[in-house]
Structure 1
Amino acid sequence: MTMARIYDTSEIWFNTVNKENKEALSEWLRNNGVILEQINGQRIYGGPPAGWVGEAPPYGTEVFISGLPQEMYEDKLIPLFGAVGSLYEFRLMMTFSGLNRGFAYARYATRREAGLAIVRLNSYDIQQGYKITVRRSTEKCELMVDGIPCNVNQSTLTNVLHGKTAGVESVSLFASPTAESKNVAIVKYNSHKQAALAKKTLCEGARLLHGCPINVDWLKYQMRQKMLSHKLRQPHTAHPEICSSSSSSSSSGSNAQDLQVICEQRKLGQPTFYLQPLVMEGSGVLRFYYRVTIPGCPSPFTGYGWLQAAQLTSEEQYQRAKEIVSEQILKELGFDPI
């Protein structure tokens, strides 16, 4: 058996219900060098197990197991499901008392092995009076991001999502069914894990589209059906007055002025720049720190930048740095800077 991650045993655990089976599990863990991790009501083996080489198994390799006896643990389940194929991960759902909740998930290295598990173990008599059900897991891999401004096109949104989340497979943009003059994106990830991490990141206020409140949720069945039946409308495009304002400001040749106009259009308040020179590097390159606060944005924009400062006055350095920072912020807002 391979090693997984850390599982902390305690005396309290042994003093609760089902003590005999818990002691048998503990002995099995010691004898086979298996270590489990408990997170948010589930105990996890692997994900990946030690020695795993390569990326995580693709969509379709996980099976859902139900009908388990609540007093049964991994010392019986992992050998049973591991006999079918190479287990990448096994997750047993747990109660506070230390019993399992009657269901688990097993992810295999390949789709073929997951299929074999279904064929061989579905309706298997795992214990007298207990016939388990094993079927393909319905892995949620698609998010619905609603409330996207009409002046953010699909290409820009895709680039922003790639920068903020991992595993983006495709992005489709449609008119929002809930928000007037806004759009909704259906974002598909290459695994449930990546989709869940992306949902957490976006819901926790990642700088996706600053100043524009968005709603992030799993893609609902009804929405999926509308998309598949081509019943969703084409995405809204930017209002003419926004396009003309952006165009006129772009002619000024200043990213800082473009940023100011956009903040006015979105009623975000005017940006406040704090720029601090740090060190002059070789060949006259100045490294600086920036912090830009926009009242309508949930958090300030911060980071570091570099500029060629040779033979520039202090005022010229400041203005050049301001342009560089404004360009970066425009990108984060979903606009193409000049």
Structure 2
Amino acid sequence: MNGDNEVWVNSVNSKNIFSLMQWMQNYNVHLVQINGQRKYGGPPPGWVGGIPPYGSEIFIGNLPQEIYEDKLIPLFQSVGKLYEFRLMMTFSGLNRGFAYARYPTKHLADLAISHLSGHEIQCSYKIVVSRSTEKCELALDGIPSILHKEALATILNGLTAGVDTVSLYASATSDLKNVAIVKYRSHIEAAMAKKTICKGPQLLYGCPFTLDWLQPPMRQKLQSGTLPQPHSFLPQMRSDKPKQDKITLSGVQCLQLLCDQRNLGQPVYQIKLLSLGSCGWLRFWYLVVIPKHRVPFTGYSWMLADSLIPTDQYEQAKEMVAFWLLTELGYFVD
């Protein structure tokens, strides 16, 4: 920001800015401005306990643009202790006309809505207070069918905090893959989880996946119960046998069965565990030789392995590689 702009920004609403600074100094209040918003708390000083539950955040609208936290925070603290207060800001130093406040409990949020909605904070300005529409659900699309709900929940709990529920449905965009809808206890935990997962490679069991907030069309299908059931990992040979004859085996077992039936010989695995990256992702190299197959299989991939001992890391990598080879060699994954 150049000097002329600084003078212009500091000259806007200077009286109220001075009042805000005095209030912050007198009450030892610390505000942090990030990404177009100014935040108090989250948690506030002396906070004991975890992040407040879903439903504890409120939306505050129809604010006069020249009003600041020295007027707003005491007003909303009159209902009860605040966990967090976020005022949306313009580049010029005025507020954008709305804010968010989070209380320790849903009950206090309800009280704030009933007591303060319609409050005349300034002449001709009656504020609107309502429940905040918090994003707490993520959609992970492209999940391999070998990964069942409990295993995915274990992975996510090791990688992120605040997982509430994990549900699997058939993906509409990837054949024989699933989409996972993961609900977190709060928007903050969901946002942190999204950021953490995006830091690592978007691979699970060697399969790429996409990550986004749960979008309205899928939310509507979820609420109406019309999302299709997930695919399950049930390898089978190309045959006309009825489905009840299928036997669920591990990837390594299925690959050995395929090689026996095709008289290809026993697969020989070489796997080298390489560097452990951020967020617990382990890179590894693999080479698999099937004696009577024309070429060996080799490459690099990633797996989430920070909570596994080296022996288990090796076995999981081996299982992942076998699963890929099943697809390459013509197994069905139903």
TM-score (structure 1 length as normaliser): 0.73
Superposed displacement of residue 97, structure 1: 1.3
C-alpha RMSD of the superposition = 3.3
Aligned to 1:168: 163
The residue type paired with residue 240 of structure 1 is Q
Aligned to 2:39: 44
Superposed displacement of residue 125, structure 1: 1.2
- Superimposed CA distance per residue, residues 286-323 of structure 1 (whole angstroms, 9 cap, x where no aligned partner): xxxx97346453x68897998xxxxxxxxxxxxxx6x5
Q: Against the structure 1 CA distance between its residues 175 and 325, is the aligned structure 2 distance closer, same or farther, given a 3 Å change threshold?
A: closer
Contact 1:164 1:208 in 2 (8 A): no
Q: Against the structure 1 CA distance between its residues 243 and 124, is the aligned structure 2 distance closer, same or farther, given a 3 Å change threshold?
A: same
Instruction: Tell me how far apart the structure 1 counterparts of residues 38 and 268 of structure 2 sit (CA, whole Å).
Output: 49
* Correspondence 1:246 to 2:252: yes
Identity of aligned residues (%): 53
Superposed displacement of residue 103, structure 1: 0.6
Q: Against the structure 1 CA distance between its residues 18 and 207, is the aligned structure 2 distance closer, same or farther, given a 3 Å change threshold?
A: same
Superposed displacement of residue 243, structure 1: 4.9
Alignment of 1:51-62 (within 5 A): 51-62=46-57
Contact 1:69 1:127 in 2 (8 A): yes
Instruction: Tell me how far apart the structure 1 counterparts of residues 133 and 11 of structure 2 sit (CA, whole Å).
Output: 33
Q: Would you say how many aligned residue pairs link Structure 1 and Structure 2?
A: 281
Alignment of 1:66-105 (within 5 A): 66-105=61-100
Instruction: Tell me how far apart the structure 2 counterparts of residues 187 and 302 of structure 1 sit (CA, whole Å).
Output: 20
Provide structure 1 residue ranges, at least 5 long, that are not aligned to the other structure: 1-10, 252-256, 261-269, 276-289, 307-320
Superposed displacement of residue 101, structure 1: 0.9
Q: Against the structure 1 CA distance between its residues 244 and 87, is the aligned structure 2 distance closer, same or farther, given a 3 Å change threshold?
A: closer
Contact 2:141 2:209 in 1 (8 A): yes
Contact 2:252 2:318 in 1 (8 A): no
Instruction: Tell me how far apart the structure 1 counterparts of residues 72 and 109 of structure 2 sit (CA, whole Å).
Output: 15
Contact 2:89 2:95 in 1 (8 A): yes
Q: Against the structure 1 CA distance between its residues 95 and 202, is the aligned structure 2 distance closer, same or farther, given a 3 Å change threshold?
A: same
Aligned to 2:244: none
- Superimposed CA distance per residue, residues 207-259 of structure 1 (whole angstroms, 9 cap, x where no aligned partner): 761531111111122212212222111111224259575314579xxxxx999
* Correspondence 1:211 to 2:206: yes
* Correspondence 1:63 to 2:58: yes
Instruction: Tell me how far apart the structure 1 counterparts of residues 320 and 184 of structure 2 sit (CA, whole Å).
Output: 21
Q: Against the structure 1 CA distance between its residues 258 and 149, is the aligned structure 2 distance closer, same or farther, given a 3 Å change threshold?
A: farther
Superposed displacement of residue 118, structure 1: 0.6
Instruction: Tell me how far apart the structure 1 counterparts of residues 118 and 139 of structure 2 sit (CA, whole Å).
Output: 36
Alignment of 1:1-338 (within 5 A): 15-205=10-200, 209-238=204-233, 239-241=235-237, 243=249, 246-248=252-254, 260=269, 271-273=271-273, 292-293=284-285, 295-297=299-301, 323-327=311-315, 329=317
The residue type paired with residue 159 of structure 2 is K
Instruction: Tell me how far apart the structure 1 counterparts of residues 319 and 186 of structure 2 sit (CA, whole Å).
Output: 27
Aligned to 1:7: none
Contact 2:20 2:68 in 1 (8 A): yes
Q: Against the structure 1 CA distance between its residues 302 and 60, is the aligned structure 2 distance closer, same or farther, given a 3 Å change threshold?
A: closer
The residue type paired with residue 237 of structure 1 is S
- Superimposed CA distance per residue, residues 312-337 of structure 1 (whole angstroms, 9 cap, x where no aligned partner): xxxxxxxxx6x55413546899x9xx
- Superimposed CA distance per residue, residues 83-128 of structure 1 (whole angstroms, 9 cap, x where no aligned partner): 1111111110111111111110011122121111111111111111
Provide structure 2 residue ranges, at least 5 long, that are not aligned to the other structure: 1-5, 238-247, 258-265, 276-281, 287-298, 324-334
Corresponding residue SS for 2:60: strand
Corresponding residue SS for 2:83: strand
- Superimposed CA distance per residue, residues 20-67 of structure 1 (whole angstroms, 9 cap, x where no aligned partner): 111110011011111111111111111111111111211111100011
